Amino acid sequence: MGNSFYIAWKYLQFYWGKTLLLILSIALVIFIPLGLNYLVNKGSADLMDRAEKTPLIVGAKGSETELSLSSLYFKKPKIEPLEYREVEKLKSQQLGKPIPLNLEYQVKEQPIVGTTSDYFEFRELELKEGRRMAILGECVLGAKAAEKLNAKVGGSVISSPSGAFDVAGSFPLKMSVVGILAETGTPDDEAVFTDIKTSWVISGKAHGHQDLQQIENDTLLLNKNETQAVASPAVLSYTEITPENINSFHFHGDPSDYPVNAIIVQPNDRKSALMLRGRYENEQDAAQMLVPAEVIAQLVDTMISVRDLLILAGVIIGIACLAILAFVFALSIKLRKAELTTMKHIGASRNFIGSVLSLEVGIVLISAIIISGLLTLLMGNFGIPLIEKFIS
């Protein structure tokens, strides 16, 4: 065995280019169905896991899949937001705990999640360092968000404008980082959590500026009397909320009208969940309530159907490839006839020559299986975020 392995190994080593090509070809043939199966299974399990941990979601009527995925994975929603009064309505019904999510803005590539501290309890998120946000302008970073933004507790992050041409829209707000969450392996790691009111400051619904009554420069005021002063556009809003200017921040209009992209609802019990769902059955209602697990299960079913088709195609292609490889191997034995005859003439037995050839095939196959296994593991690490990105 030792000597036949040595000769087989030397052959493969000498013709390393051909050997590598052969190994990679076989590895791919094995990997495509194996990796796809693993990817879809793992992806489905991850998707279902997060969906099942989220009992109910309320959002504007529209695509259920869109609403579920944007609420679970913090993707910018493509459906209209609800008004905050929907949260107040749910609170007043006392059938569960509503957790608002405002998902319109980002810090670079990281989503800003405007919510309440109830979200941390709901997802059982623990702080690695620092504390939760307490006042306007503070934020808590997910573990990966902190890494990607290179931010630490005591530092700050700045919200990105919603678009290059959105001069009238959100303006950058510098937020103080007061806490960093422990890693969870979920989309929460990627998020910048802030109070929903801070997200409204980013959207321009609330802002802070100099006390207009104190302004002496008339060019900054459109109108001023003893009870009212109207600022001109020349008055600059604060881009950072500090202890000195926090009292100047104020909301315009009724906060009940302010936007909320989705509301996670934690029903008190099963009966409350049923009652809540019943109340959102009205077709006239602008809002819908859905069970994310049901929506994601449909999505997973579609993924599994596609996977099965692709695996079938992969297996057929794989069989064809293996047949070609077997043919190539048979041809190579023919080409090596002189070499094998020499070994036979010198004194090698038929078994020895057979074991050399078998070991060559074995080494190639085992290497291909190992590589396809490694590729599958890599797929597990890098493919799942890809599949999530693709789905969303």
Partner 1 sequence: MIKLEEIRFFYTRDSFNLSIPQLAIGRSEKLAITGPSGCGKTSLLNLISGIVRPVSGKIFLGDIELSALNQQDLKDMRLMKMGLIFQQFELLEYLNVLDNILLPFRINPILQLQEKTKERAAALAASMGLGDKLKRYPAKLSQGERQRVSVARALVTKPEVLICDEPTANLDPVNRDRILDIIDSYCDETKTTLIMVTHDQEILHRFHRIINILDYSNYKDKNELNG
Residues near partner 1, by CB under 8 A: 3, 6-7, 10-11, 13-15, 338-339, 342-349, 352
Q: Quote the CA–CA distance of 63 and 288 in Å, as a whole number.
A: 10
| Contact criterion met (CB below 8 Å) for 355 and 10 | no
Query: Least distance (Å) from partner 1 to the CB of residue 329?
Result: 16
Query: Least distance (Å) from partner 1 to the CB of residue 3?
Result: 4
Residue 10 vs 389, nearer CB to partner 1: 10
Query: Least distance (Å) from partner 1 to the CB of residue 350?
Result: 8
Residue 12 vs 289, nearer CB to partner 1: 12
Q: Give which of 386, 378, 382, 375 is closest to 31, Cα–Cα.
A: 375
Q: At what angle do helices 270-279 and 85-93 cross, to 10 degrees?
A: 140
Q: What is the CA radius of gyration of the chain?
A: 31
Residue 168 vs 338, nearer CB to partner 1: 338
Query: Least distance (Å) from partner 1 to the CB of residue 370?
Result: 23
Residue 19 vs 186, nearer CB to partner 1: 19
Residue 13 vs 305, nearer CB to partner 1: 13
Residue 4 vs 102, nearer CB to partner 1: 4
CA 151 to chain centre: 20
Query: Least distance (Å) from partner 1 to the CB of residue 21?
Result: 16
Q: Give which of 50, 48, 68, 49 is closest to 58, Cα–Cα.
A: 68
Query: Least distance (Å) from partner 1 to the CB of residue 24?
Result: 20
Contacts of 375 (CB under 8 A, 6+ apart): 27, 31, 35
Query: Least distance (Å) from partner 1 to the CB of residue 337?
Result: 12
Query: Least distance (Å) from partner 1 to the CB of residue 349?
Result: 6
Query: 392: exposed, middle or buried (C-beta count within 10 Å: 0-12, 13-18, 19+)?
Result: middle
Q: Give which of 125, 135, 278, 270 is closest to 198, Cα–Cα.
A: 135
- At 7 the three-state DSSP class reads helix
Residue 9 vs 122, nearer CB to partner 1: 9
Query: Least distance (Å) from partner 1 to the CB of residue 366?
Result: 20
Contacts of 186 (CB under 8 A, 6+ apart): 50, 123
Which residue has tokens 């392996």? 185
Across 72-89, b (16+ Cβ under 10 Å) vs e yields bbbbebebebbbbebbeb
Residue 3 vs 268, nearer CB to partner 1: 3
Q: Which helix (H) or strand (E) covers residue 180, if one does?
A: strand 174-181
Which one-letter DSSP state was computed for residue 114? E
